Structure 1
Amino acid sequence: MTGARGARFPYGLVGLLGTWGLTRLVLLLFVFKVYVFPGPDVTSDVSVIYQGWYEVLRHGTFPLDDVTWQYPPAAALAILSPGLLPFLGYAQAFFVLAFLADFVVFGLLQYAGLRSGKTLRGCWVWVIGVPLLGPTVYARYDVMVTAVAVAALLAGTRHPRVMGALVGFGAMLKVWPVLLLVGAVRRRVWAAAAVTAAGIAVVFTVSMPGAVAFLTFQRDRGTEVESLGSLVFHVARQYGWDGQVLLNYGSVEFLGPYVDVVSTAALVLTGVAFGWLLLWRLRARQFLPHTLADAAFVAVLMFTTTSRVISPQYMVWLVGLAAVCLCFRGSRMTLPVGLVLGACLVTVLEFPVWFSHVVASDRLGITLLFVRNGLLVVATLLAALRLWRGTVSRPTPPLPSQAARTEETLASS
């Protein structure tokens, strides 16, 4: 049997590496504009916005007068990182670093998938999911944040302090990785995360003016045209709603009557989602090795789906967490992960391919948003239900070998 596995094993790795390499080559050809991807140019955020921030940040201050700067202080490290490759132009260096972050995630998932009790399904989710989103993945720094989050979750079972430090660092890059703590049961994880985040915040606050300006800029955002709440105004425009669609706070948003009401409703929904997560945490009785990743996936799904903004790069977060879930054989998230991958395919169609139809609120644009956001809603509800049933309602006792591994892990940590 060992020989048979040994005969099959290399072919799986060759297929993974070959598919990853081919799809990533295509993405690089698009961001380097060897070929032009349909729709608006997704690389302009790097060559215009990021590079503009770079020029400010390298002089020791945050972009205090730019309301589009809506990120925690450690995001400066991602924006400044192309300076590590001075032999390339800023945009070209950024694309290369995004590619390398993608490769790091691929390597981590492959390594994890070959360990006992794991599977390469998760690696395949990453290999397939990223190209479904198109070149936007390499034209935003979210793939770098996702790499930190994936490393944190994979370290969580055996190395709680490492996970905590990575979560703290990730939260200072783009806030959302703090949600990875939802399923963490060891105090060391929370302590390491708090100490790391606080240390980074203090260093940036002392050394660079404007480290916390992002909090005000985020507060004043409206309803972005791709969000769940935006569907209200897409439909309302067909019946004479007299609002506008404008570039506002760095994204295309609805402005006009009742926008504040819908934005407030989105915040309330997010609050309800966090309330559910708190209730789950208080009621959960069974924490298996995959629960940490499953809970993180559910939490980020809830945050993304109820947010006032669902930018295409948010889907990169979900693909990364979905991949970690399916690294575990016992994960119950297979169907929600499939729905997220379907949402990724629709996402690249609504942005950038047919984004003009979304902005125009025509039939095609509204249909794409209903399908994409509908898939996210169903995935969120289904994932939450499966998490609850697996840990609260009728927990299934682990197999003896699985229980032994869990006890050994807890003892070693």
Structure 2
Amino acid sequence: MSPHRTSPSLPPVRVRIPGPSGPPGGPPGLRRRTGPALAAAWLLTRAVMLVLLAVDRLGDTGVAGEVGLLYRGWYEQWLARGAFPAGDVTWQYPPGAGLVLLAPGALPFLSYFHAFVALVLLCDAVITLALARAARTGRTASGTGPGGGTGSAAGAWLWVAGLPLLLNLPLARYDVPVTAVAVLALLALRRRPLTGGALAGLGAMIKVWPVLTLLGTPRGRTTKEAWGAAVAAAAGLLAVLVLLFDGALGFLRQQGARGVQIESLGGTVLQLAHRAGWDGRVVYQYGAMEFTGPYVSSVARLALALTAAAFCWLLLWRLRARRWTAATPFDAAFTAVLLFTVTSRVISPQYLVWLLGLAAVCLACRETVLRPAALLMVPAAAISALAYPLNYDEVIGATVPGCALMVVRNGLLLTAAVLACRRLWRAAV
């Protein structure tokens, strides 16, 4: 008999070694401290924004007038009577926008202006809570990376701290509610592609661009479900609005005649040309300050060609993309909206609300490759506020300070777009 005795077989012991980053969203103690700090920052900054809106004495004093005059006029004269503004060249929005402008009527105990601002603040709070939850749970948007990605509080902080850089403007435009729909769509895509797709479709009926949130959905079932839900939701809402309202598709007639807005990339080129002796001028038309004169139509056509080229690039990226992470849908959506913004004939200051929201969603996932491009939205927003409303007369007059503001702001957006395209291509293709 052998002196060596075989030991009985024992089950293997598995030891789980935590990674350096710890649980999603950081250590529990850190998460508990982040929540109150984020809430305090939101309350403080939004109080300042409300004061600025109430005073409304920053540069151009027409910031609050957009709601008090234009939105309320559409509501009382048209929307509340079952029709969209007929023949109004300033009505250039998809019919779903009418629902946002009708919403303040649900608060009859408030004036239209106060009810609208309350709606915007509610949507702002929803965005903040959604980004904070993504950081806390790590349940970020669609992706096939290990564990679905790890959340980060950087996105919530970018939104809370970045939006006030636009001063009182976000509270007097309906872009925050649209951004809320897009943010919720992105954050819902991974676990609930039908919900995310439906939200994207509804958002497209309000402002078109939220449909771009579906560009980076992973191939296969998620893409089919999300796009199918988006088409169904958009078609259903459009059918309802066509049945209930007159002139639901009238906005399409107003888009083709748009010129080159002074704050667009093409407008910056014309501003510099004006400094060099070009004899064009600035006029108010189609609800914006636009250039008229020689070569303006050529610049407008060039902008449309660049938009078409951006669409072709995005389509090529989608066809050739092979690697998906949890952050890919975020990064693709931000890149797409950024590209369509910089190539547009119109870059209104409230467009920065969209870009800040999508940049915040990117930073809500640690796997994002667009951190540098997303962070560029912070100085871009600050300079946008310097241009409008603080120094809009300088921008209209194409003075040296006005041109400098537009060159720097649009230069930041263009740089961010190039960075985003390069990094997104390298990461996925």
* 1:219-368 matched pairs, under 5 angstroms: 219-368=256-405
Q: Which residue of 2 aligns with 1:172?
A: 205
Amino acid at match of 1:380: A
Kept after mapping to 1: 8 A contact 2:261/2:290:
yes
CA distance in 2, matches of 1:220, 1:99: 33
Q: Which residue of 1 aligns with 2:175?
A: 142
Instruction: Check 1:180–1:6 CA distance in 2 against 1; reply closer, same or farther (3 A cut).
Output: closer
Q: Which residue of 1 aligns with 2:70?
A: 49
Amino acid at match of 1:274: F
Amino acid at match of 2:248: A
Higher helix share: 1
Amino acid at match of 1:126: W
CA distance in 1, matches of 2:133, 2:343: 33
Amino acid at match of 2:397: A
CA distance in 1, matches of 2:198, 2:248: 20
Kept after mapping to 1: 8 A contact 2:342/2:414:
yes
3-state secondary structure, aligned to 1:58: helix
Amino acid at match of 1:257: P
Kept after mapping to 1: 8 A contact 2:31/2:136:
no
Q: Which residue of 2 aligns with 1:398?
A: none
1:288 deviates by 1.2
Kept after mapping to 1: 8 A contact 2:166/2:381:
yes
Structure 2 residue 31 is the aligned partner of structure 1 residue 9: yes
Query: What percentage of residue pairs aligned between the two structures are identical?
Result: 47
1:231 deviates by 1.5
Kept after mapping to 2: 8 A contact 1:40/1:353:
no
Amino acid at match of 1:149: A
CA distance in 2, matches of 1:227, 1:5: 44
1:10 deviates by 2.1
Kept after mapping to 1: 8 A contact 2:59/2:392:
no
1:15 deviates by 1.5
Kept after mapping to 2: 8 A contact 1:269/1:306:
yes
CA distance in 1, matches of 2:389, 2:406: 13
1:235-269 superposed Cα distances (whole Å, 9 cap, x missing partner): 12123322221111011111111111000000000
Kept after mapping to 2: 8 A contact 1:130/1:137:
yes
Q: Which residue of 2 aligns with 1:409?
A: none
Amino acid at match of 2:180: A
Q: Which residue of 1 aligns with 2:50?
A: 28
Q: Which residue of 1 aligns with 2:214?
A: 181
CA distance in 2, matches of 1:23, 1:283: 43
1:364-410 superposed Cα distances (whole Å, 9 cap, x missing partner): 00000000000000000001111111111xxxxxxxxxxxxxxxxxx
Q: Which residue of 2 aligns with 1:199?
A: 236
CA distance in 1, matches of 2:333, 2:270: 31
Amino acid at match of 2:99: L
CA distance in 2, matches of 1:72, 1:125: 29
* 1:119-158 matched pairs, under 5 angstroms: 119-158=152-191
Q: Unaligned 5+ residue runs, structure 2? A: 1-21, 139-149
1:137 deviates by 0.4
Amino acid at match of 2:413: L
Q: Which residue of 2 aligns with 1:407?
A: none
Instruction: Check 1:239–1:7 CA distance in 2 against 1; reply closer, same or farther (3 A cut).
Output: closer
CA distance in 1, matches of 2:234, 2:51: 37
CA distance in 1, matches of 2:312, 2:287: 29
Query: Which of 94, 101, 105 is the aligned partner of 1:83?
Result: 105
Q: Which residue of 1 aligns with 2:416?
A: 379
1:347 deviates by 0.4
Larger Rg: 2
Query: Which of 111, 114, 121 is the aligned partner of 1:99?
Result: 121
3-state secondary structure, aligned to 1:253: strand
CA distance in 1, matches of 2:293, 2:59: 30
Kept after mapping to 2: 8 A contact 1:32/1:92:
no
CA distance in 1, matches of 2:29, 2:212: 41
| TM-score for the superposition, normalised by structure 1 | 0.92
CA distance in 2, matches of 1:381, 1:238: 27
Q: Which residue of 2 aligns with 1:59?
A: 81
1:38 deviates by 3.5
Kept after mapping to 1: 8 A contact 2:186/2:329:
yes
Instruction: Check 1:9–1:230 CA distance in 2 against 1; reply closer, same or farther (3 A cut).
Output: same
1:226 deviates by 0.1
What is the aligned residue count?
390
CA distance in 2, matches of 1:37, 1:110: 31
| TM-score for the superposition, normalised by structure 2 | 0.89
CA distance in 1, matches of 2:31, 2:153: 11
1:95 deviates by 0.9
Amino acid at match of 2:271: H
